[in-house]
Homo-oligomer: A and B are copies of this chain.
Amino acid sequence: MHPNDIEGFFTTRAAIDPEAYLELTFTFECAGDPRAAAAHLASEQSTAQWHRVGVKEDFRPKFAAKVLELEAEPVAAFSLPLGVVPPGPVHRCRAVIAHPWNNFGPRLPNLITAVMGEGIFFAPGIPIIRLEDMRFPEAFLAHFDGPQFGIAGVRTRLQVYDRPIFFGVIKPNIGLAPEPFSELGYEGWMGGLDIAKDDEMLADAPYSPLAERAALLGAARRRAEQETGVPKGFLANITDEVDRLAALHDVAVNAGATMVMVNAMPVGVSGVRALRRVATVPIVTHFPFIAAFSRVPTHGVHSRVFTRLQRLAGADVVIMPGFGDRMMTPASEVRECVHACLEPMGNIKPSLPVPGGSDNAATLEGVFRQVGTVDFGFVPGRGVFAHPMGPRGGAASLHQAWAAIASGVPVAEHARRHAELAAVFGVSVE
């Protein structure tokens, strides 16, 4: 880019209509002049050739992405091993860019293409870059439906208020036939689970067809509802080819599922949005693949960006990697994803955040303290279904832990008076 052209890719917030732009925060490492690199980054994601050869015209005022903020500090070298390293002095930078969404319209695949596509990851001189966050103006959000039920709708259906929603992932997750699988669900509900769910890897599998599994779980769920007198949820994983999602939704719901799950990246956030248009029950999204591009702190896309996109696409519930070393995700990142579910977002309802990963009754209090609200879901797998007293005991231990938390009693102390909770802590009952 000619030095004179760089200025056309810089502006100020006062000079633009905020409703016409997405605001993107990037961190990146560049070779050469940071100001030229940031201009390339804006140019390549929008109108890199802004006039025809021999024609006096300039598409930049209306169509260019523009740099609003830029900070740069010199560093010794690129922080990652790279196959191809551009030459020149290296800077570590942070930039905020305004991207005109009229370039593509309110469509998720085109949004992803524009703000996480070739223009971002192949901007000259910038081999390392991460999209850290994205903010949408209300004019953009108004084109989206977002969650159909949201947190309030999910609570109403379950008649559960003022405490976390207790999910349980039925285990063994892979290999178990539908009949014994449904028996485990029944035991979990009888112990107090709000929602028994399929594992994210178990969908319409050859050894466990969805129609058969959903019918058996539906019957078991109704039985548990009659015996306990409270609503119970069965969350069926309908993750499949995108042109089967609507049909599998109907199969699952007609058989007795009360919610449906899709894995957000494997079906695509656009697949989630398409499902939202036809769904009659809450949609739950799950997180496979996201760590492939979000774990490295300096390159890729921050996980909260895709949390926002799942909410925008219509996820009533978002399951995300949770707290604790086991899930290898910094606590600050988990909280940022939780907030992306809960914070105001124009006309878009909040999604229920479910930070998950190898939880059990002993980890409930820590998750609650980190989240800072009861508006979350708690989703043990083996913590319920491999409990030494079986799934009924595992589910009961969650309620016992919550009773202690709600009444200000130390959970480990409470365990000494409740056998199911005691088994989780490995202590004996007094």
Q: Is there an interface contact between A297 and B387, defined as CB atoms closer than 8 Å?
A: no
Q: Is there an interface contact between B325 and A119, defined as CB atoms closer than 8 Å?
A: no
Q: Is there an interface contact between A390 and B357, defined as CB atoms closer than 8 Å?
A: no
A291 to B131, CA, bound (A): 12
Q: Is there an interface contact between B200 and A122, defined as CB atoms closer than 8 Å?
A: no
A71 to B268, CA, bound (A): 34
Q: Is there an interface contact between A81 and B298, defined as CB atoms closer than 8 Å?
A: yes
Q: Is there a chain B Cβ closer than 8 Å to A1's Cβ?
A: no
A63 to B47, CA, bound (A): 51
Q: Is the interface of A mostly helix, strand, loop or mixed?
A: loop
Task: Please classify how large the interface on chain A is, using the bins under 10, 10 to 19, 20 to 34, 35 or more.
Answer: 35 or more
A72-109 CB contact bits vs B (8 Å, 1 = yes)?
00000001111110100000000000000011110111
Number of copies of this chain that the complex holds: 2
Write out the residue numbers on chain B whose beta carbons fall within 8 Å of the beta carbon of A81: 79, 296-298
Cβ < 8 Å to B, chain A residues 47-77: 47-54, 59, 62-63
Q: Is there a chain B Cβ closer than 8 Å to A172's Cβ?
A: yes
Q: Is there a chain B Cβ closer than 8 Å to A241's Cβ?
A: yes
Q: Is there a chain B Cβ closer than 8 Å to A363's Cβ?
A: no
Q: Which chain B residue lies CB-closest to A387?
A: B53
Q: Is there a chain B Cβ closer than 8 Å to A326's Cβ?
A: yes
Residue from B103, B175, B330 in contact with A47 in the complex, judged by beta carbons closer than 8 Å: B175
Write out the residue numbers on chain B whose beta carbons fall within 8 Å of the beta carbon of A124: 326
Write out the residue numbers on chain B whose beta carbons fall within 8 Å of the beta carbon of A289: 112-113, 116-117, 121, 293
Q: A273-B241, A289-B112 are in contact. Are A174 and B83 (CB under 8 A)?
A: no
Q: Is there an interface contact between B239 and A109, defined as CB atoms closer than 8 Å?
A: yes
Q: A86-B328, A104-B205 are in contact. Are A173 and B48 (CB under 8 A)?
A: yes
Q: A83-B333, A113-B266 are in contact. Are A103 and B201 (CB under 8 A)?
A: yes
Write out the residue numbers on chain B whose beta carbons fall within 8 Å of the beta carbon of A266: 108-110, 112-113, 117, 268, 270
Shortest CB distance A97–B (Å):
15
Residue from B114, B300, B328, B385 in contact with A201 in the complex, judged by beta carbons closer than 8 Å: B114
Shortest CB distance A319–B (Å):
10
Q: Is there an interface contact between A176 and B52, defined as CB atoms closer than 8 Å?
A: yes
Q: Is there an interface contact between A200 and B117, defined as CB atoms closer than 8 Å?
A: yes
Q: Is there an interface contact between A174 and B103, defined as CB atoms closer than 8 Å?
A: yes
Write out the residue numbers on chain B whose beta carbons fall within 8 Å of the beta carbon of A80: 80, 296
Q: Is there an interface contact between A329 and B49, defined as CB atoms closer than 8 Å?
A: no
A52 to B183, CA, bound (A): 11
Write out the residue numbers on chain B whose beta carbons fall within 8 Å of the beta carbon of A157: none
A390 to B55, CA, bound (A): 11
Q: Is there an interface contact between B207 and A102, defined as CB atoms closer than 8 Å?
A: yes
Residues on A close to B: CB < 8 A? 45-54, 59, 62-63, 79-84, 86, 102-105, 107-110, 112-114, 116-119, 121-122, 124, 127-128, 171-176, 180, 184, 200-201, 203-207, 239-243, 262-263, 265-268, 270-271, 273-274, 277, 286-289, 291-293, 295-301, 321, 325-330, 333, 357, 381-382, 385-388, 390
**Other 16 A-B pairs with CB < 8 A, given A121-B295, A122-B357:** A81-B298, A83-B295, A86-B325, A103-B201, A107-B203, A108-B266, A109-B239, A109-B242, A112-B288, A116-B289, A117-B263, A117-B288, A121-B292, A127-B295, A266-B268, A289-B293
